[in-house]
Structure 1
């Protein structure tokens, strides 16, 4: 039992009820492509001036976490917003992360899929004021990723909305990037709930207009588009959008509220996955996808249904702070020795939120070692004045 604070400022006894899932490899080939977007583990002993300098990374723990995802049959979306790109992790660190991850993936027996985020975040905002500058910035990162064998995820860039770009600017940049990539790319549509600076992406604040534009962009050369990740937290929009995609182009759900139903599909269409929450719920995600591949929808929903309330709590508004919940669960589960994030990002959420995440993770059978989790939760509670 543990005493936890509640939303109405009370302290309540909580008794754990979960039966931890044991991580394992899938028993059959999966019928959905699933990328987990993983976080970066800080090295607090080497961290200096965390708000003003490059983050110090615990490379051993960071790569070991990725090995654990691969061992469960999941792919990896590397150096994405889950890894605090633009929120504590700079391009220089992200590039080293990509290089180390790709080397580790090559030696892994399961030969996992790894796709890596290419963006424009190494360039100063004042230097990204026209299409040519944005294209050059993307190409700089894309070349570094392709040089080590990574597949490109063309991350949404804050530079487009900042300059008030219209559809013609997006088309000129993305056309060059898509057509010039070594492998088919994954496009990235991240809503402003994840990053307010991305409001109006694709040149319109009208989601229907933006959808028409990006679908036309894909249709111009669908062979060079592996898929598109959509993170708008709108199930109806995603279902309508994926039904309009050219054959062979995947919809990678980034909907951390509705992923269970979207991945299961409607009988005709379904979504694949590129999700930050999959890094936090890997045993449930892997085993649910394994069941789905075997046609066992009942087991699929039994495993994933309890994870949805957990994910909704981690990704609650302000959604951009979800990264703290991902790292918190990694700490509770013993994948890192501390709860320190690049730029001190762990302070972006409060103790009531972390208490709710603890409860919901237990109820989803995702506290790997309950005794360790309770011990660490009590430490955090004490630091926050809860005895």
Structure 2
């Protein structure tokens, strides 16, 4: 496949830099083809980072050090102890704080002259246009498919380039979408995977150093897009294997048969991870508070935990039967035979894997209901003392 034409610099140069900034960026300006003009472009650039987790933690300090003049951060989560190994922009002193506040402090500690805009909220179809407005470039470091498709669609409609990355266990990948310049995320992944088939970082784990590698590549793409230097990852995806220490490149092209993106949709529904419509939802799920009331009343239940053993070592509901999801999917009939006649409540971290297990069991005639929101919701609504991860 022929390489797309190299796009021009995304951002026009800002005003001449004062002497203290020239001194700060002296080593960068020495790069061939870079110079003060490229640095002025970076200082004028406005970049939005979606997610202040593992990838955001790697990307944000590099953007600040490179001299991006305005950095936006959107994330609705707070810092937890299990974040710290890979989300190194946060520290122990930040536990319980919004990730946007912690990340903003870290950026200002690097360069107090950077304008930091924080959005401590979840990116949705309702607020995407407002949040993306006023930025030149988006970096997507989110950890779920609904947000990835939302970011790609919203940026495409706004005409903004998107640098996206993903990490999983010992590897990751990086790409770039840019409306009108080349293929985008939907050309590579037209449909999201079935719910529960791709575990999240919290479910599968990730090698902390992989976040650093992928985040560094994402920051480089952002710098190249803003300055017009180098060949962008348009129509190419870089795939990294941290265990083997290798990189490979995959090429892809625009899908001429793809449906055009004309507006934002319900991305949870698109990815198949929303509660089912009533009245079926009432028979297939139970809220944490309702389950707690049933258990307190002494009603018999089988609590089927479909997480991994390492997750159960961190937190579990007493009396749970641990059967990882892959076992349930592979041998649903065998698992069903182990269940007694008590009502079965299926539990996972957030509820996604539990729904997959419910459907697998239903296919062999076994009925179960899902704990809505999983143990994460249980720890928020019923037992705050249960460790969160």
User: TM-score scaled by structure 2?
Assistant: 0.27
Which of 1 and 2 has greater Rg?
Answer: 2
Determine which structure has the larger strand proportion and give its number: 2
Which structure has more RCO (C-alpha within 8 Å, separation ≥ 6)? 1
User: TM-score scaled by structure 1?
Assistant: 0.27
Determine which structure has the larger helix proportion and give its number: 1
